[in-house]
Every structure is written in structure tokens, then in C-alpha cells.
A and B are shown apart, each in its own frame.
Chain A
């Protein structure tokens, strides 16, 4: 991405990143961990082991993997209601995540948050957020806090395209712009806000043009292309770290499944779903890795077996973990002063 103060909204990715073998392997494993975790979660959701509801990240893997792959471990993120991918890509463990989905005591949030609110502050995951655009102010504030402390940390704030129509997005992005905060807004443009298509909700073909309104660079990128996402994210993150202010990345990645598990998508043309599935970002990346001779079949298998084992262990951990004791419901409201 070329940050361009004169022409905000016009910055584009060059898509020429050449990453070494290790980084490619890391990105592939990151995407695969998300895909396999979600498949397993959908399975046990169907079997009735997850209370509440889950929003699958399938189809969006390249975004979390690409962005988090470009962050430093000490950087921070906020996720969305569709946030399992954000957590996994930031290095959270499958076992405690799966336990949280199942409402178990061993979950990251001790069973108090569930799918939409998983957090791990020790890994810089300041929480997924069940309110659409709910994490935007919080993420921007963390960036402000980092600026005050001068700690050189950057925040990546994930949000959906539907969140771009909420007031908190407008207020917070404007504030980040005028205060030049070290943050990157990552829009996962999956084309839908539950049943309402983004085409009908926003009268723009290029959502990144909204960056112009805030005087910050905006870039449009193929959200199914992990290398493209990584490249523009790294440029935006570097820009933020160098105190040049926020950026808006719009990652276009059509939703491959329903809004939540159990959504029949009756409102959506069948071809639209089929088209999304045909472009599966994970399969696409695997093909690129093989055809470009970046990673061989054997090396991919090693990764795949490792991820499968991780999922298996996580399912077992979640299954065997106890539910919280009921009285736990009254704990954790306030920090008790010593």
C-alpha cells in the first residue's frame, strides 16, 4: 500500500510481496487452524454441545491470517461477533477457545463470554465484541493509550462491512484521524449484514472510498488472497507504527456460509453462495503454494496433521472440562481493592 496524503482513498496494494518459505507456512497454518477449528465447532454446535449461537469465520481466513501475520506479538486486536478467526490468528489456543464455546470453566472467559466475546488480554486480544462496531471505539482507545504510553504498539481493529454504517465507526475513525492514532481498521466485507446486502446498504462500489471522508488512506484488497492482505496490512501497520496515523483496509471476502449456523440464507441467490465457495481462499492458497513450489505436498501434510491433532485435543479438552460452579456467576464484576 502506498499511503498518499494527497489522495486518500486511492492507495493501492502492489501485490508483489515475496515471502520466504517459513512465512508462507505460517500463514497457511494460521488459515488452516481457523478452517479446521470452525468445522469442528460447527459439528459440535449441530450436536447441541454449544449453547447460544456461533458465526463461522469460514471464508474469511485470509484476512485474520494476513493481518495478524503482519502484527508483532505485542500488538493488539479487537475482534467481532465473527471472531474465532481473529483469536486464532493472534495465537490463542484452540483448547481454551473450544471450552469457552461450550461454556466450560476452563474457557478463556471462564464461560462468561462465549463465542462472541472471547478475549485474551495476555495475547493482546482485547476481546471479540457482540455489538456491531462495538469494538471500534475500544480499539481506537487502546491505540490512544498506546500513543500516550509511547509503547510503539499498533492496534488492528476488525469489523464487518455492515459496521461501517454505525455511528461509533464514524466517531472513532474520525478521532483516530485527528489524533493520528496507531491503528488499522480492517473491514471484512463479506457482502452481507445478516440478510441485508451491502450493495443495498452502502451506495458505493469501493467501500474504501469512505477513507476519504476521514482524510486517511484507504485500500481495497481481495480478502480471499492472504498474500495481498498481508502486504497491505504490513504497509498500514508500519505506517501506524511510524506515527503516520490510521488506515482503512477493505478486504472483500464474500460470506461462504450463513450469518450464523442454522441460517438457511433464503434471502441470497444460490449462485452467489456457489461462487464464493468456488473461490475458497484456503484451497486457492494451497494451490499457489504447490504450483509455485513454495511448499511441497509433504510439508503441507505435516502442517495439516499438526492442525488436525490440535483440533482433536481441543475437542477432548472442551468435552472433558467441567462447567463452572453456578456461584461463579457472581464473580469478576469489579476488581476488588486490596
Chain B
């Protein structure tokens, strides 16, 4: 196995799936000639040509609308929406069209469509370029939500998403693209949707985290280990479908749990997972479910402001100590 970046892993998945199936096409803003705003689609245009790799105008609504229509006639589009905040520019297509058409038609059609997009909190993007919008989509029945934390997961899950006959929104992370590296086999593999992965085993408490929060959870676990607290880190990897079984099994073992996300605190992914844990594993809990998320404000620009409102490694450590009765 070799070590590659998160961006490279996604790039490889796109190359391989386009090689495997001539009906896989890519479209989006700046994905062709310059290989994407984040360089994730580099080389696709050269290898597959303009018919299959389409630079589009700045028209997010049409990118999603056209992808849906093409999927309905049997093409397998992979659309890129540059920043996940821009999902707001095509939200009608996502909520009222992509998510609804199959169900509303009584199951007459399949929609083999992937929308790739990038969360991007922590880059001084301010409110309009610092998305973490996976909760919007998790709240929308009819769309699968994939949100990998490692290069290995990103590649394996994207390949599965592209082969899935249902719509998938695939949340990447702008900070992960080049800062997160990992071992990825050169041989063919894929990862099924709806299967969580235990990123670190531990017996004292569970940290449920996804996307870049997994890295922070692992950092927190290292710090906690020095205090003799062994944290288990569970990465659901996909939010819809959600592998509650693995999460619950971990909680039943540790009896304490923190759910960590970059989202706003209110009405988000943490709230949903937290509720299900409370509801389904109440008898196993020694302490109430804890949450680490970001403050309920639009994301500020200036680094000290942004850092203050973000979910941080030390927030996880602090909550963990509280759960363990080790508050200083």
C-alpha cells in the first residue's frame, strides 16, 4: 500500500469509475481545464475528453437539474458543487426534485447520481464559504449522505456511491484534501454504504465523529490516553444510511458518549445521533449524551473568531473529562 492524499484518493476513484463505465460523466464549475477549484478532478479532461468532463457556467441549479435529468435517462453523472454552502443555490433541485422524483412517481425510475461537494470550515472563508451542510441533506429523505474522513474511506465510498442507483451527496472537506494522507491499496476495492468504522478502540468512552472531526477525535483520544482514559472513536462514514448498530454497540461497552460534528449545535446531526443513543441505549448510559459542535452563528472570517466558534480537539477532551468525572 502507498500513502496518498484525500484529494488523490477521490481523483483515483473518479478515474477508475469513468474507466469502468462509459456512462459515468463529470460536470461542474472549473472541473475540466484546471482540474477543479481544489484540484480534485485533475487529469479527467485529458483522459476522457470534453463530452464526459464538462466545465459548466456558474449555474448550480442547472448543474443539479441537468444531472438529475441525465440520470433519469440512464447516464451516471457525478456533479461537483464547489463549496457545500453553494448547495443553497440549488436547494430546490435537491429537495423538491432529486429527493422526490422516484418516490413521487411510485418508484418508476432510478437516479444514479452523485453530487460531490466540499465542506470547508476553518479556512477563513467566512459565512458563505465555510460549509458543513450535511445535516440539511440528512434531513431530506430520498438522498444518501456520505462523508468520509480518510483517503481509504473516500476512495472506497465514492466508488460505491457512483455505482449506486440512488442519489448520493458526497461531502468532502477542503482542509482534508491535502492535509490528510493515508494508506490506500492499489488494488480494486470498495466500501459499502451504511457501515461505520471504529477508528480507535477503547473501553472508557465513545466519541462518534465524522469527516475532519475524526482527526480531532483521534487527537483527543491521544491526550486522554495520557490520563489513563481509553476513548473509542466511531466514524459512521455515511449519515444516510446510518449504522446505528455499531454506534450502539460501542456505547453499550463504554457507557459514555460524545457526538462530535463541525455543524451548528442546533437541530443537527449530533442531535439526531444523540437522540437515538438516548432512546435506544438509555439503560446503558452512565452519563447524558454529550455534544461537541460549532456555535450557532454564521461562520466569522477573522482567525481568532473562527477558531473560537469551531469544534476543537480541546473541546472533545474537556467534554470527555467531564463525562469521566475528571473535570479540573
Contact = CB atoms under 8 A, between A and B. Distances in A.
Interface in A100-134: 107-113, 117, 119-122, 126-127, 129-131, 134
A333 B103 contact: yes
B66 A148 contact: no
Interface stretch (B91-99, B220-228, B310-318): B91-99
A171 B56 CA distance: 10
B65 A168 contact: yes
Contacts of A168: 61-62, 65, 92-93
Contacts of B207: none
B141 A175 contact: no
A120 B65 contact: no
A171 to B, nearest CB: 4
Contacts of A193: none
Interface of B: 23, 25, 51-52, 54, 56-57, 59, 61-62, 64-75, 77, 92-93, 96-97, 101-110, 141-142, 144, 164-166
11 contacts: A108-B105, A112-B103, A121-B105, A131-B97, A144-B66, A145-B71, A171-B65, A172-B61, A174-B57, A175-B66, A332-B106
Contacts of B72: 121, 126, 138, 141-142, 145
Contacts of A110: 106-107
Contacts of A140: 62, 65-66, 69
Nearest to A108: B106
B106 A113 contact: yes
Contacts of B96: 130-131, 134
Contacts, number: 149
A135 B113 CA distance: 17
A334 B193 CA distance: 13
Given A112-B106, A120-B108, A333-B141, A141 B61 contact: no
Given A108-B106, A119-B108, A139-B69, A145 B61 contact: no
Nearest to B25: A148
A154 to B, nearest CB: 12
B61 A167 contact: yes
B50 to A, nearest CB: 10
Contact of A136 (B65, B74, B110, B142): B65
B300 to A, nearest CB: 29
Contact of A333 (B54, B62, B67, B102): B102
B104 A149 contact: no
Interface residues of A, number: 47
A149 B93 CA distance: 23
Given A149-B73, A333-B142, A335-B166, A141 B106 contact: no
A332 B69 contact: no
Interface in A40-73: none
Nearest to B142: A333
B163 to A, nearest CB: 9
Given A149-B73, A172-B62, A134 B92 contact: yes
- A121, A139, A148 interface centre (most CB from chain B within 10 Å): A148
Contacts of A121: 72, 105, 108-109
Contact of A137 (B64, B102, B109, B141): B64
Contacts of A172: 59, 61-62, 65-66
Contacts of B74: 145, 149
B23 A117 contact: no
A76 interface: yes
A109 B61 contact: no
A337 B164 contact: yes
Contacts of B52: 148
Contacts of B107: 110, 331-332, 335
B176 to A, nearest CB: 28
B69 A175 contact: no
